[in-house]
């Protein structure tokens, strides 16, 4: 087998192995399918450049996690800046509470709270959701101790609970 | 509002923590804490519900194919990046071996680089052009000589001891020329060929530089690019 086809097959395996992971990480930040796909594609394009440096599978997945997260956060920040600019120019339309389903509105507030978490807490929260709360896997992806993942996860949930407590009160007064 | 001394325990409980016996006993009799715990649990459920969406959404259709195509389209040249990297490292090592720069503690107060020149070509001609147009009977070498380490020594300076291919001479001169202004005396001067010089070597450009240590060689970016397609 030629070296080129070996590289092709190796890359193919990694796409199958980690493609969904990259997509889910990006989706966890952006919540837009199209945007998440673009970010995953960009991350894999970069991975293709570095394939020779990322022979180890675990290392590859950790690198891909960090790169995808970084790219997604950059896109998310750029989107927020763009939205802020657009809102300055367009004051005419605002969705009223009546126009938006209550559950959707609640989910939006939850995501706003997640977005406001410090980055270290946010990434463990999103990765834990993707990996079904498997803290060991999250620790491997972030290359940090499992105990650190657990404590960050707890801190994140606690901050979310504090920020979203009004949601519970809102529901109870309904 | 929950009883203040149980707030932390109740929050931890809502987030999946253990139920301590003392808290359990209190919960059984305190309706305010029961309501607080229910509220915390509903928030935790809302967070779980929102996060579960991330794992539920799947990319559409032939996502893996699109991933592969995008990656390959973005990096057609880099397929053999490892080969280019290896070649660049080998070139750097070769250069360092040829130009044997002494370690810092044995550096002389100054070094002399003697470069054979081709009088017919102006100094601005690129080195590769100069090398290509130079007569073949000329010795294609640059001699690098060390000055005596102790400037007070009256001993005769040693003979040149390092030979550098002529094609690299200008690059070395440029390297020395790019030294910071405060790095010591750097100069370029013409002088006659020393006695005993190799046949065919004409006038000598002489550059005097302070002691330096080459820590790394940066391979120019164009080396990593694919060759221009033939027109």
Instruction: State the Cα–Cα distance between residues A61 and A59, nearest whole angstrom.
Output: 5
Instruction: Quote the DSSP letter at residue B149.
Output: S
The model carries a pTM of 0.53
Indicate yes or no: CB of A24 within 8 angstroms of CB of B78.
no
H-helix or E-strand containing B189?
A: strand B187-191
Indicate yes or no: CB of A107 within 8 angstroms of CB of B49.
yes
Instruction: State the Cα–Cα distance between residues B160 and B94, nearest whole angstrom.
Output: 20
SS3 (DSSP) at B144: strand
Chain B nearest-CA distance from A89, in A, is 31
Quick: pLDDT tens for B134-163.
444 343 344 443 333 444 444 554 433 345
Quick: pLDDT tens for A104-114.
777 888 888 99
Beta-strand pair B162-165/B187-191: unpaired
ipTM, 2 dp: 0.71
Task: State whether residue A160 sits within 8 Å of chain B by CB.
Answer: yes
Task: Record the tokens describing residue B175, joined without a space.
Answer: 């390297």
- Which residue on chain A is closest to B35 by alpha carbon? A172
Instruction: State the Cα–Cα distance between residues A30 and A34, nearest whole angstrom.
Output: 9
Instruction: State the Cα–Cα distance between residues B224 and B168, nearest whole angstrom.
Output: 19
Task: Record the tokens describing residue B147, joined without a space.
Answer: 């000055």
Q: How far apart are the first and last CA of chain B?
A: 79
- Which residue on chain B is closest to A34 by alpha carbon? B59
Nearby residues of B164 by Cβ (< 8 Å), 6 or more positions away: B98, B99, B141, B142, B143, B144, B172
Instruction: State the Cα–Cα distance between residues B207 and B211, nearest whole angstrom.
Output: 13
Q: For residue B35, which residues of chain A lie inside 8 Å, CB to CB?
A: 172
State yes or no: pLDDT of B93 exceeds 90: no
State yes or no: pLDDT of B224 exceeds 80: no
């Amino acid at each position: 087998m030629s070296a080129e086809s070996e590289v092709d097959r190796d890359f193919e395996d990694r796409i199958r192995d980690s493609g969904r992971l990259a997509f889910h990480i990006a989706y966890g930040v952006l919540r837009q399918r199209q945007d998440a796909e673009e970010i995953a594609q960009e991350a894999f394009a970069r991975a293709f450049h570095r394939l020779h440096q990322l022979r180890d599978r675990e290392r590859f997945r950790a690198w891909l996690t960090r790169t995808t997260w970084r790219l997604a956060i950059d896109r998310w920040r750029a989107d927020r800046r763009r939205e802020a600019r657009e809102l300055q120019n367009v004051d005419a339309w605002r969705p009223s509470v009546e126009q938006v389903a209550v559950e959707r509105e609640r989910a939006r507030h939850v995501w706003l709270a997640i977005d406001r978490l410090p980055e270290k807490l946010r990434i463990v929260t999103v990765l834990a959701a993707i990996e079904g709360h498997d803290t060991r896997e999250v620790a491997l992806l972030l290359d940090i101790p499992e105990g650190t993942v657990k404590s960050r996860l707890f801190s994140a949930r606690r901050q979310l609970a504090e920020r979203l407590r009004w949601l519970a009160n809102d529901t109870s007064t309904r | 509002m929950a009883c203040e001394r149980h707030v932390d325990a109740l929050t931890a409980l809502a987030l999946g923590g253990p139920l301590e016996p003392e808290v359990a006993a209190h919960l059984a009799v305190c309706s305010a804490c029961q309501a607080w715990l229910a509220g915390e649990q509903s928030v935790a459920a809302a967070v779980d519900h929102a996060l579960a969406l991330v794992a539920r959404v799947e990319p559409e259709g032939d996502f893996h194919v699109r991933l592969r195509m995008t990656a390959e389209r973005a990096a057609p040249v880099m397929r053999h990046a490892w080969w280019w990297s290896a070649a660049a490292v080998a070139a750097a090592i070769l250069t360092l071996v040829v130009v044997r720069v002494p370690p810092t503690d044995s550096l002389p107060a100054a070094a002399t680089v003697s470069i054979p020149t081709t009088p017919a070509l102006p100094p601005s001609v690129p080195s590769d052009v100069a090398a290509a147009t130079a007569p073949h009977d000329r010795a294609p070498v640059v001699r690098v000589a060390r000055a005596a380490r102790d400037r007070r020594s009256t001993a005769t300076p040693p003979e040149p001891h390092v030979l550098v291919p002529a094609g690299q001479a200008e690059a070395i001169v440029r390297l020395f020329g790019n030294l910071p202004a405060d790095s010591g005396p750097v100069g370029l001067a013409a002088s006659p060929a020393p006695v005993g010089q190799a046949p065919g070597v004409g006038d000598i450009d002489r550059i005097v530089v302070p002691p330096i240590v080459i820590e790394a060689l940066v391979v120019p970016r164009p080396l990593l690019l694919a060759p221009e397609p033939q027109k």
